[in-house]
Amino acid sequence: MGKKKKQKLRNCGGCEECCIMLSIPELNKPKQARCKHLGVVNKGCSIHAKRPGTCKDFQCIWTYGKLSNKNRPDSVGIMSYYVDTHLGRTVFVTETRFNAYIENPKAKDDIIELAEKNKMPIIIATYDGKANMMVL
């Protein structure tokens, strides 16, 4: 058997949504708080080369090229990524800004459609942490 080809990922560009939204235990960073290692807005991580495993291992679905360019998390206020649940690989979607689902319903629908197309369960969380799971 040959080696599995590594997927080329999109560059995050100026998007820093994961560095704000996610909890990073190794850095004692709580969720929904700007990481202290982010420099000037849109300039990226000051410890990128030495960032902890939580940061290195994280990829949002947008970086995989599964969503259109216009659905970049910082543009629409919605971030999605894969998590493992009791139902297997699951799409987790969260608002990174209050009311982003209302302001960008097409972006949310695109992620739901992606999960449906791939027959994956989906968890949809609001900015305040309320969540619903759908098995499509």
Residue with tokens 């999605």: 80
Check whether 59 has a pLDDT greater than 70: yes
> In this predicted structure, what is the pLDDT of residue 3?
57
Taking only the tens place, the pLDDT of each residue in 4-46 is: 556 789 998 889 999 999 999 999 999 999 999 997 666 788 8
Rounded Cα distance, 8 and 39, in Å: 26
Taking only the tens place, the pLDDT of each residue in 61-104 is: 999 999 999 999 999 999 999 999 999 999 999 999 999 999 99
**Which of 18, 10, 82, 78 has the alpha carbon at shortest distance from 51?**
18
> In this predicted structure, what is the pLDDT of residue 136?
72
Burial class (CB in 10 A: 0-12, 13-18, 19+), 108: buried
> In this predicted structure, what is the pLDDT of residue 31?
93
pTM equals 0.89
Domain locations in the chain as residue ranges:
13-57, 59-136
